[in-house]
Amino acid sequence: FRGMPLPSSGDFFEVLDRHRQSLLDSVEDRVGEDPETVRSDRRSRFDDSVGLQMVPNCTVSRVRSDSFKSTQRFALILKVISMIYKMVQSNTYATKRDLYYSDTQLFGSQRVVDTIINDISCMLMVPRRSLHVLSTSKGCIAGDLSYVEEDGTKVNCTCNSTGVLVPSNVYGIKNLISAAKFVLIVEKDATFQRLLDDDFCNKLSPNIMVTGKGVPDLNTRLLVRKLWDTFHIPIFALVDADPHGIEIMCIYKYGSVSMSFEAHSLTVPAVRWLGLLPSDIERLNIPKDVLIPLTKLDHNKLIGMQKRPYVVCQPHWKNEMNIMAKSMMKAEIQALTSLSSDYLSRVYLPSKIQFGGWI
């Protein structure tokens, strides 16, 4: 495994193609309020075919106009609703940042605006795009993909050495074309750029790479879901072997409680964990001096994650977490460079994809 050269045989993608067929088969198988009160649903439940989704008729939080404690928040919500109304009427759009800077003294912080936008989306049961509020993209995409943006701009992700910024209006892109065999979600931008420098997209062509540069923004999650809906090809996650990396992978796969009302357009339960697996650390004899001890916070997070319903139903994931908890060590993807500078792109990823090394 360690010294294995990049395979070039015609049946390289045989295991991958079988995995894709199993994914396709599974897809076919599933085939009057008080005017002085603002209500927003908050409870979510886990569904293995969707992820974390909002429960109908669940408990709600109330922000009242006649309560001293919530008067200011009530006023801020109405302020944002009025801004949204004007944008819908004029068919214009703004980012959350734009809304905040329209009156920084009133809102106080960007987080206040972000929370209110989420609450309004949840309350009205509509995606943020329907409110004419856009998110600023931070994610990047590269590989065998071309599409047309809403304004008619043609984008070719193949012809870019640093990746293409994820569009701010994912709903508006059309005419997506790709012959990719798989999508690789990369946790960190540094790893994404290193794979581009190593010409990974061409070495294991055709494929698509996406990074959310850490915790993914809304547009990156929407794009990954759109790629799944359009092409129905395997999607793999490459994250650090630590609780934070696993959490990021779970956001792509199962979503988050705060955005559970948009689960059907954001989550991709078909995502598989490709690496870095805690079991890979020992199997590959990664030197101990490049490993990092788990902090108390890491360990507590790991224990908490093992109790989540979407981990309980994933015995292989739970086993990997047990390995991490037992060793009390974590590793970044960059730890693979201790084996060789291009080990990730030359050996690790090709071997994993050829022989089905995902869970």
**Which residues are catalytically annotated?**
101
Residue 215: what residue type?
V
Question: Tokens for 159?
Answer: 């012809």
If we measure between CA atoms, which residue out of 326, 318, 317, 336 comes closest to residue 294?
Answer: 326
Judge residue 289's burial from the number of C-beta atoms within 10 Å of its C-beta, 0-12 exposed, 13-18 middle, 19 or more buried.
exposed
**Pairing outcome for strands 235-238 and 183-186:** parallel
C-beta neighbour count of 300 within 10 angstroms? 12
Question: What is the radius of gyration, based on Cα positions, of the chain?
Answer: 22
Q: How far apart are CA 15 and CA 50, in angstroms?
A: 25
Helix (H) or strand (E) holding 60: strand 60-64
- What is the DSSP code string of 74-123? HHHHHHHHHHHHHHHHHT--EEHHHHHHTSHHHH-SHHHHHHHHHHHHHH
Asked if 87 and 94 touch (Cβ cutoff 8 Å), the reply is yes
Residues 185 and 271: beta-carbon distance below 8 Å: yes
Tell me, what DSSP letter sits at residue 331? Answer: B
Tokens encoding 270 = 């078909």
147: which strand partners? Answer: 155
